[in-house]
Amino acid sequence: MSLIVVGTMAYDAIETPFGKTDKIVGGSATYAAYAACNFIQPVNQVSIVGFDFAKEEMNQLESRGVRLEGVKIVPDKKSFFWSGKYHLDMNTRDTLITDLNVLADFNPILPESYQGSEFLMLGNLMPSIQIRVIEQLLQRPKLIVMDTMNFWIESALEDLKKLLKMVDVLMVNDSEARQLGGGFSLVKAARAILEMGPKYLIIKKGEHGALLFQGKEVFFAPALPLEEVFDPTGAGDTFAGGFIGHIAKTRDVSFENMKTAIIIGSAMASFCVEKFGPQRLKEITKQDIDARIRQFVDLVHFEIALQ
Amino acid sequence: MSLIVVGTMAYDAIETPFGKTDKIVGGSATYAAYAACNFIQPVNQVSIVGFDFAKEEMNQLESRGVRLEGVKIVPDKKSFFWSGKYHLDMNTRDTLITDLNVLADFNPILPESYQGSEFLMLGNLMPSIQIRVIEQLLQRPKLIVMDTMNFWIESALEDLKKLLKMVDVLMVNDSEARQLGGGFSLVKAARAILEMGPKYLIIKKGEHGALLFQGKEVFFAPALPLEEVFDPTGAGDTFAGGFIGHIAKTRDVSFENMKTAIIIGSAMASFCVEKFGPQRLKEITKQDIDARIRQFVDLVHFEIALQ
């Protein structure tokens, strides 16, 4: 059992209606790793950081079975930095600052020891970089999952389309799905996207849950109705980490097991938003996770008898 | 087994990105009755129409077990008329025309023969009118369900608060729940609303499904992901009709049975939006409804084993 997670490890400064942080740890691969390591270890991390990335955060990750051999440390540059401000509805945000720093030169090299990993999670990055990771693998993983974003749909569509033919699962949010697939109907957009290559499509709708499409089948997982969404940053990456973590643990890539994986991803994401950054993900125990999953079961369970 | 449905019977002219209608039949009580009659007959209808309301529509309703003794026909006035235009996302609309006509004088009188009905669905109307209906009932129904809208929250809050103490179930959409309960968190808004009187709260989120709250319990029902939402008019009233129809059929007002009722309401609403007006509701058979409910079961069903 082994999993490669590729993505950013970064610093964020976040402002929400509930408060404001100085620089705190963030990045797609950070969130994904903190989620996935609850289900599978090791997590073979691939990323790039600068001299400023806290050693103690690295230690934290390592103590949870996240291997950092594939994380390049650039001694004379700073880590990727993002700063954003959420609107009152928490669904929309303005980016205030994007300092690429080390990310400008990111050319991931897979360590030899990562070869043979069975599962691959490609966090949101320039599609050509995601492709380069896949091309370095001597053996194709059982399942390749990728995330992307509107920026790449607009600026790197050719590479993205090439990449879509190389992966099994695409994860995007609803507006990205509409942008990539065309039109307002998510069902139609999903059909168009599945024709571009991936066998499975997961559309993340934030507080409105997530949809899984495969062929003509569709599964819906709700988001847990929360009293307060404190900070949505990283929720999508945490979802991805929980999803691929469960798949890697069970080594079962059936549609049925993907449903379960989506519920687990949703449960992990529901923790993520409770505190700033990945803080809450560091606190939770297996008991917390199981209790949260039970809440999801209760949330959607109903009995119906058709006569 | 008997059900009273109170609301409007009207004409609508609708424009959507897919087309445009002349005057077609609409109104909250029309949609609710066409949905409820699949599960319970008779439906004891209470409404008001003008000289222009088509006799053949009345006959259609009567042939489906909808009793019209409580529908007042005003010989020298026209029926309530609403005209609206949906935006491209189908979630928002502009009202173009509202001609109250007969609705300006609506003072519902319950026929004697409706007394003793066990279930009451109060469609969206001025709260003082909804109160007057309840006050005419010699025996309190087993369950009183009401709908309302932003207009009454803004203009008739005192009456609305009085009414909320008299009913069992409140149905509103998400923006109305936020307006009535305060704040952005639906969970907090729900708690505030439940303190105003109703034992159950259903928050309709359109294409994002529906939430049922009781005390600390919550249930979520998705909306079916549809290729095309052709016309959303009446979907909420159809949901209400399916919901109360199932409750009246089963005479079971438990939380568990309300979950089932919400799934059935959602299934009925998913038909409603497939064609203009209540057209699709007139076409469907029991087989269609059962097949649609099975789609809902498949949509949210997952197995999870906690170790």
Please state the ipTM of this predicted complex. Answer: 0.88
How far is the C-alpha of A177 from the C-alpha of A182, rounded, in Å?
8
Residue with tokens 């409140």: B170
For residue B14, the model assigns a pLDDT of 95
Nearest CA in chain B to A91: B184
For residue B1, the model assigns a pLDDT of 66
For residue B88, the model assigns a pLDDT of 80
Q: Which residues of A touch B217 (CB under 8 A)?
A: 298
Minimal C-alpha gap between B127 and chain A (Å): 29
The answer for B90, left when phi > 0, alpha when psi is -120 to 50, beta otherwise, is: left
Mean pLDDT computed over A262-289: 96
Residue predicted with more confidence, B255 or B17: B255
Q: Please answer yes or no on whether B299 and A219 come within 8 Å at the CB atom.
A: yes
Interface test with A, best of B191, B292, B302, B303 (most A CBs within 10 A): B302
| pLDDT surpassing 70 at residue B106 | yes
- What's the pLDDT tens digit per position in B197-216? 999 999 999 999 999 999 99
For residue B307, the model assigns a pLDDT of 61
Option in A205, A209, A297 nearest B304 (CB): A297
Mean pLDDT computed over A1-22: 93
Amino acid at A83: S
- What's the pLDDT tens digit per position in A176-203? 999 999 988 999 999 999 999 999 999 9
**Beta pairing partners, B1:** none
Minimal C-alpha gap between B90 and chain A (Å): 9
Q: Please answer yes or no on whether A187 and B263 come within 8 Å at the CB atom.
A: no
Minimal C-alpha gap between A37 and chain B (Å): 17
For residue B117, the model assigns a pLDDT of 97
For residue B227, the model assigns a pLDDT of 87
| Residue A95: how many other CB atoms lie within 10 Å | 9
Contact status, residue B259 vs residue A302, Cβ threshold 8 Å: yes
Mean pLDDT computed over A109-135: 97
Nearest CA in chain B to A292: B306
Could you tell me the pTM of the whole model? 0.93
Mean pLDDT computed over A88-117: 92
| Residue B224: how many other CB atoms lie within 10 Å | 19
Minimal C-alpha gap between A228 and chain B (Å): 6
| pLDDT surpassing 70 at residue B257 | yes
Mean pLDDT computed over A8-27: 94
Which residues are CB-neighbours of B155 under 8 A, at least 6 positions away?
none
Q: Is the minimum CB–CB distance between B96 and chain A shorter than 8 Å?
A: no
